[in-house]
Every structure is written in C-alpha cells, then in structure tokens.
Amino acid sequence: MANGGQGVGHFRKNQVKRFGTVAYIWRMKTLKMRKPALFSFEECLWFLNRNYDDCLHHIEPGQLSKAICINGENIAFTLRADEQHLLVDLNHGGGDNFPEAALIQYIMEWFDLDRDITPFYGLLEKNKTLGYMAKDFAGFRLISIHDLYEALCWSIIGQQINLTFAYTLKRRMVEQYGQKLEVNGQSLYIFPRPEVLQYATVADLRKQQFSERKAEYLLLVSKMFAEGSISQEMVRQCASYEAQVALLTAIRGIGIWTANYALMKTLKQLQAIPYGDVGLLNALLNHALIKDKKDTVGIDKLFKRFKGWESYLVFYLWRSLSSKS
C-alpha cells in the first residue's frame, strides 16, 4: 500500500434516511487518496459506464458507487475525484471500526493505482499505430476484479455471447443470488458467494437463459470454491504463471481465454493474453496490426514488443473498441 496509508478521514455529516418503514442511521465519512501520475478517474469511469448495464456498480456523472464485502462486513462507498485526489464517501451501517485501510487497499487494487505505468507509455509512444492511445486514453488503468471466483464466473458467462446479453445474464444471477444494499435510495449488489450459488440447479439457471453448458460450468466452479478444492490463494501460490494457467484450465469450462482473463483481471498477471478473444482480434484488425483473425504470427510479433505489459495492451485495445462520440 504505497499511497493508501495517506487516507485521511474526517466526519462530514450525520444523516438519517428512511427506506420503507425502517430508518437506518449512518455516518458519512470522506477519505482522501492522492492520485498517482498517469491516472485518470474520468477515463476509468467512462470505461466502466461504456454502453453496458453492469449491475455491480452504480454510476452518476462524476461518481461511482459500489457495495463490497470487507472482512465479512458489507459496506458501500462512492468515489469522486478532484484535481489531485480520489474522494471516497463511506456509507456504513454502524459500528466504529470501519475498515478504512482495507477499503483504501481495495480501491488501490481496483484501479491498479500502485503501479508505475510509465514503461508501458514508453512502449506505446514508440509504436506508430498505437501511440495515439497514450494521449487519447491517458490515465486509463487496468480495472480489476478482486475476487477470482467472481472473475471466473463473469468470464464463463461472457463466453461466446455478446456483451450486452452477458451483462443481462450477470444481472439476473446477481439479483437472485447476490446480496443487496440500499444506499441513498439506490440498490447496490454484491456478487453471489459460491456457498450460495452452489445450491442453484442447472434448471434454475436455464430459466434465466443460461445455456445448459454454462449452467454446468458455473455450478461446478461454485462447488469447487465452496468446498475449497480451488481458491484464489491456491492459484496465487503457484510457482509460475504457466502453472496458474494449468491449474485453472484443468477445470471443466475454463479454457485458455477464461484462465487468462481471470489471471489478468484478478491476479494482475500482466503477461496474460486472453488468446482468441474476439474483441482483441477485432481491435487488432481495426488497427491493421494483423491480416486476419488467424494471424497468430502478427499477434505474437506485436505482443513481443510489449513484454511485461501484455495485459495493459489488451486492455487499451479493448478500450479502443468503444468510442466516446
């Protein structure tokens, strides 16, 4: 936690709010985190808000709200930014031992704030075709998914269907099996725990329009996480990146794409490339960096120049698929 320790909290106000017949009282507190160089909150916020309906956060102009579970406790927060800081408004259901340090750490990891991405920008600027990204996408960061289970479920959901539908499926799953926090009149959801989802049936998920296979994959992964036959720590402790890929792809439903996606988004293995990803391939075609979708030679050639920053290149290429117009 490089900058995280600088979080300075102070009470802002006390509020009483009513939801139905129940009144909740909570304190609002604002933490300040210094923004690192080459970080743009606006750029990340825009990406999170692209054209999709993500049920795991709520966005309003200039701010981003999310519910998470820290140390077994469900909390919610809202992120804003000023010139030099990220501002974190805490919404908390009670108790004086708010896990501030853990929340700051969460945000640091969410937007990859601990990383000096100067070397990546050096590589970008050297590239004739992609150099524009250093300017157009300045401050964009690898936005992570903290929980490996969630990342794997999300990538299984997203296999071979369009993203709009994928987000629809995720919302159905999360609204049925996840937890909901009502904050400032807004519903914020937390991704389901495997201990809960493991008891769903294929038929349950089929009703939500998951395919039979996907339902099987999701339930298998849920059972494995619930019983501990796979865990984030287990993957983290693998001796090598290759061993991590092997451990994950040994699970039915997790292929090379899914494994790399999860390793990139959760463990931030920057050498992870989600091979075969249609978005990646389309971005490469758009930039005329490959001849066709089978041009693996062209892909290898490009990524070789971005050694150690492959995931960042993938993420920036994905970013290039959506335009702000």
Partner DNA sequence: ATCCAGGGGTCAC
Partner DNA sequence: GTGACCCATGGA
Residues lying near DNA in the complex (CB under 7 A): 155, 158-166, 168, 206, 209, 211-213, 249, 251-259, 261, 265, 274, 276-279, 282, 318
Catalytic residue among 96, 116, 277, 300: 277
- CA–CA separation, 313 and 220 (whole Å): 32
Q: Which is nearer to DNA, 124 or 166 (CB)?
A: 166
Shortest spacing between CB 274 and DNA, in angstroms: 7
Active site residue 136: no
Q: Which is nearer to DNA, 160 or 237 (CB)?
A: 160
Shortest spacing between CB 126 and DNA, in angstroms: 26
Shortest spacing between CB 184 and DNA, in angstroms: 27
What is the CA angle 80-7-63, rounded to 5? 10
- CA–CA separation, 148 and 263 (whole Å): 8
- CA–CA separation, 317 and 325 (whole Å): 17
Q: Which is nearer to DNA, 120 or 167 (CB)?
A: 167
Shortest spacing between CB 142 and DNA, in angstroms: 11
According to the 3-state scheme, what is the secondary structure of 272-311?
Answer: CCCCCCHHHHHHHHHCCCCCCCCCHHHHHHHHHCCCCCHH
Q: What is the DSSP letter of 162?
A: -
- CA–CA separation, 64 and 296 (whole Å): 38
Q: Are the CB atoms for 234 and 200 separated by under 8 Å?
A: no
Number of Cβ atoms within 10 Å of the Cβ of 94: 10
Q: What is the DSSP letter of 91?
A: E
Q: Which is nearer to DNA, 91 or 260 (CB)?
A: 260
- CA–CA separation, 226 and 5 (whole Å): 33
Q: Which is nearer to DNA, 34 or 172 (CB)?
A: 172
- CA–CA separation, 316 and 241 (whole Å): 22
Shortest spacing between CB 261 and DNA, in angstroms: 5
Q: Which two tokens stand for residue 304?
A: 């070789």
| Cβ neighbours for 220, distance < 8 A, ≥ 6 positions apart | 251, 252, 253
Which residue matches tokens 């808000």? Answer: 49
Q: Which is nearer to DNA, 93 or 279 (CB)?
A: 279
What separation in angstroms does the CA of 314 have from each of 12, 175, 318? Answer: 40, 30, 6
* Residues marked as catalytic: 277
